[in-house]
Amino acid sequence: MPRIEKIRAVVFALAVGLVAMVFAVPSDLSAWPARFGLTRIAGPAPMGPIAVWAPKKGEPADGMLTLLHGSQGANTPDPTWLAWMRNQTPFNRWVLIVPSIPPGVHWTDKKVVASLAALVDLKATQHSIPLNRSYVFGFSAGGSQGIPVVATLADRFAGVAVLAGFPSMGSLSVSQRTRLASRRVLLMCGSRDPSATCASADAAQRSLAKSGITNVARIDLAGLGHDCPVGLVGPALATWIGAK
């Protein structure tokens, strides 16, 4: 009988302090390694700007995380806002690749997938990051589309974590399902999410299992709506990555 890893975490967050915790620059900047820095570059068409948190070229990092945002408007102040994940231990010592796409473009676009593959390859080589330390995290549409991205680029990632975005297995080809079956999958949901409910996550887990994708974990975030506060999500994500 296939073994399905199931992790359930109960996390309580105070709404008043949450925004400050996530978006404020930490008072103790020593938490950010001096050899790391954040750079932003213009992404190749049809992508938007890309933020990269990484050490100097040639210096090692502990891992690599590619973060895919959900649907957001053309006037979003910072389309690479998921780069704030660098404020979370242990990701402050990981390479973080934070691309963005404008409205109307999907993460599964062939040009976007090719650009992501090239950037992941470059950073993995520059910072000596093995496959088993490279992951994708996707929020909302970034999660539902992130699973087929990883299924396409399975030779570059150890797994994919999804928050509030559960894919339709009908969107995956047989070869994609086969490749995804050899990778780790995490489904996260917020107990107060009115759209991507925890019941939807349960259904997605069953659907994955029927397709032979059984290395699936679950984390339920108590009190969370359809949102992605990195101060809440980061520790849960790190727990899953460490629980191999």
What pTM, to 2 d.p., does this model score?
A: 0.86
Buried b (16+ CB within 10 A) or exposed e, 202-235: eebbeebeebebbbbbbbbbeebebbbbbbbbbb
CATH of the domain at 158: 3.40.50.1820
The strand pairing partners of 40, in sequence order, are 51
Looking at 14-153, list the stretches that DSSP marks H as alpha helix, in order from N- to C-terminal side.
15-23, 110-126, 141-144, 146-152
Q: What is the pLDDT of residues 93-146, one digit of tens each?
A: 999 999 999 999 999 999 999 999 999 999 999 999 999 999 999 999 999 999
CB 232 within 8 A of CB 13: yes
Specify if 7 maps to a domain. no
Q: Which two tokens stand for residue 113?
A: 């997938």
Q: Give the structural domain span for 125.
A: 15-242
User: Is position 201 within any domain?
Assistant: yes
pLDDT tens digits for range 143-162: 999 999 999 999 999 999 99
The pLDDT of residue 77: 87
- Lookup: tokens for 132: 């088993």
Q: Is residue 4 part of a domain?
A: no
Number of compact structural domains in the chain: 1
